[in-house]
Amino acid sequence: MKVATALQMQEIDRLAIEETGVKGTVLMENAGLQTVLAMERFFGALEGTKVCIVCGKGNNGGDGMVIARHLYNRGARVCIVLLGEKSALKGDAKVNLEIALLMGLELTEVTSEGELSVVKEKIISSHIVVDAIFGTGMHSAPRKFYQTIINKINEADKSVVSVDIPTGLDAGTGNVLGSCIEANLTVTFGLPKIGLIYGTNRQYAGQLEIVDIGIPKTLIDNIPIRVNLIEKKYIASLFKKRQLDTHKGDYGHVLVIAGSMGKTGAAVLAATAVLKVGAGLATLAVPKGIHHIIEMKTTEVMSVPLPETKEHTLAREAEKYILRLAENMDVVAIGPGLGTHPETRQLINDIVTHLQIPIVADADAINAMPLASLKYTRAPLIITPHPGEMSRLLGIPTKEIQENRLEAAQKTAQACETYVVLKGDRTLIADPQENVYINPTGNPGMATAGIGDVLTGMIAGFIAQGLSPQQACNAGVYIHGLAGDLAVLEKGEMAMMAGDLLEFIPTALKQLNGQG
């Protein structure tokens, strides 16, 4: 599903009205009605419920007028608080104001801070407050008059419904502009906005409902929107039922280059994840000094001992063996637990520039590669950094990465002609064509050692089975988060470990296939 900025959504609305003949009043009518239907799904029947609708002077306020009359027709006790004079309303908002007045709906004009006590009284005496103040057109902090109203709504501790977006939340960035409405339910129109699904401030939206208001689908399809939300139905569509006459070779072979003394767990987690997602074969290439440990820890994974340094990390001499192994592989996963020995770092760079099959690079592999080298690989390259690794790669502070995650992932993927999986809350996948995919699954319980190693193996396992790098990244990240969401129900956020995630991958896959 595409995710729009405020400007993109405004352009879609304009095209709907000017090029396809859909009237603005029709869009407003649909927006108001769909909001009421969403409220009924959320709260149940609204007959007898007292609802205070706080309206601004623009189209968001016009939506509020439509909401008011549909609630009134359903038996709700409705009052409208208009933040301004009636004469200030224009266009479609004015039309719907006039209809509300002709229906005899209660309306109170509030034009100055001296009248704010009236707003407080209306809010306190209501069961539900509808925020129809500004909508997506807000890009700077509102003046004190509006901030006071926002604070009064939040302090009243009432159920709050925001129309399109909570007032005070920037639709394009997710930043809070001064004060922000804390909604229980947000009903947004046409497409989700970036600020509603991305960034920690999305919590201000409460439960999010995306509703159709009659914008022609062809318009949305033709607008060059680069940001997308990964949907379950899309991920499920990537996997086909297996044929009866198949064998392990039909599902790919992954070479996992990982591990060092004290970090055998990272190697085992990544290689096991390869098989958990359905790849036919996994071979784990490790320093020979830890090979006996790997053999004891794994059963289904094959392993190969390779030349090592005195510190039991992979030596440069291992390159010829790795390249020979890779000739019979479909994809290479490299990085988990490899260590930062200078010789190992050089080996990583040599391997990555010579391999001719897709590469999934994580952890120490990312730390070993300079930014300039990423675009010179011979095969598709996927990097899976957390913000700290992204910071080292780009040479900018982690704080700056976190404040501009979407832009950092997008620009790096395009400039380096690589796929970037920027891990964290709402993991991002960026491809070389500037497309960005936002992952909705996952939870804070996944902030624990080894979780990223599992993701590396999952992505590689999906590539081995024939998915494209972009498909494999989306599927890996989505199912990784879904497995975490299933695990947290049983384990809780504090106790979850990476091994628990492996345990729930099969359940996640079954859910996608409609079997659980």
Q: 500 burial class (0-12, 13-18, 19+ CB within 10 angstroms)?
A: buried
pLDDT of residue 100: 97
Query: pLDDT (tens digit, 9 = 90+) per residue, 222-244?
Result: 889 999 999 999 999 999 999 99
| Whole-angstrom distance, CA of residue 453 vs CA of residue 26 | 51
| Whole-angstrom distance, CA of residue 122 vs CA of residue 14 | 35
- CB–CB of 254/282 below 8 Å? yes
- CB–CB of 175/153 below 8 Å? no
| Whole-angstrom distance, CA of residue 223 vs CA of residue 8 | 8
| Whole-angstrom distance, CA of residue 424 vs CA of residue 473 | 14
- CB–CB of 277/461 below 8 Å? yes
pLDDT of residue 122: 94
> Where do the domains of the chain lie, and which CATH numbers do they carry?
6-225 (3.40.50.10260), 233-237+247-512 (3.40.1190.20)
pLDDT of residue 367: 93
pLDDT of residue 380: 96
Mean pLDDT by 10 residues, the chain (516 residues): 91 92 96 98 98 97 98 98 96 97 96 88 96 90 92 96 96 90 97 92 96 93 92 95 94 98 98 98 98 97 98 97 97 97 97 96 95 91 96 94 93 96 97 96 97 98 98 98 98 97 97 78
| Whole-angstrom distance, CA of residue 367 vs CA of residue 361 | 10
Residue 363 DSSP one-character state:
T
What's the whole-model pTM score? 0.93
Coil, helix or strand for 475? helix
The label of the residue with tokens 């392993």 reads: 303
Query: pLDDT (tens digit, 9 = 90+) per residue, 148-177?
Result: 999 999 999 999 999 999 999 999 888 899
